């Protein structure tokens, strides 16, 4: 699989393509030939360390965009990315841009990589424990929010 991904990347090397376009084309080519349910080992999940990634992201972001909270700037950028998602909801790169910006905002708000990962896990666990309306009765064009009550019926 790694060899297939590498060959796809090499095949996408075109002088006029940006590195982002080259990587995107290579990933799309590799994933399109991957058996169902199989990712691209070595490129997506193999050996991924979220804490190391967050430290790397912070170092790059701080050097590139400067220190400090930059809250309004991060939110402004997220809004722009959301518009791009609305224009093309199938573009995973735009969804990931929002994710990266959210993580950037979290460290800029003073949270360590360990706190960010702990909050991610805690929030998912909290959401899983909440009561949610039946999605089949809800509009697909509106947010589905958890049932707001004093006690959850979930165990």
pLDDT digits (tens, 9 = 90+) for 120-138: 999 999 999 999 999 999 9
**Could you tell me where the DSSP H helices lie in the chain?**
2-11, 19-33, 50-65, 71-87, 92-108, 113-129
pTM given for the model? 0.68
Residue among 113, 123, 93 at smallest CA distance from 50: 113
- Tell me what the mean pLDDT of segment 16-38 comes to: 60
Q: Does residue 77 come out as left (phi exceeding 0), alpha (psi in the -120 to 50 range) or beta?
A: alpha
- Exposure of 140 by Cβ count < 10 A (0-12 exposed, 13-18 middle, 19+ buried)? exposed
Asked if 108 contacts 74 with a C-beta cutoff of 8 angstroms, the reply is yes
- When pLDDT is cut at 50, 70 and 90, the band that residue 28 belongs to is low
């Amino acid at each position: 699989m790694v060899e297939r991904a590498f060959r796809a990347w090499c095949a996408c090397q075109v002088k006029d393509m940006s590195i982002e376009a080259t990587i995107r084309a290579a990933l799309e080519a590799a994933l399109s030939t991957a058996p169902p349910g199989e990712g691209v080992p070595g490129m997506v999940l193999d050996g991924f360390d979220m804490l190391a990634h967050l430290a790397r992201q912070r170092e790059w972001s701080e050097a590139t965009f400067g220190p400090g909270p930059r809250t309004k700037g991060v939110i402004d950028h997220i809004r722009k990315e959301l518009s791009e998602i609305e224009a093309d909801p199938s573009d995973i790169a735009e969804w990931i841009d929002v994710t990266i910006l959210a993580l950037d905002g979290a460290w800029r708000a003073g949270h360590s990589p360990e706190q960010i990962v702990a909050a991610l896990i805690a929030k998912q666990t909290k959401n899983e424990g909440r009561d949610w309306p039946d999605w089949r009765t809800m509009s697909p064009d509106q947010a589905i929010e958890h049932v707001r009550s004093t006690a959850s019926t979930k165990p």
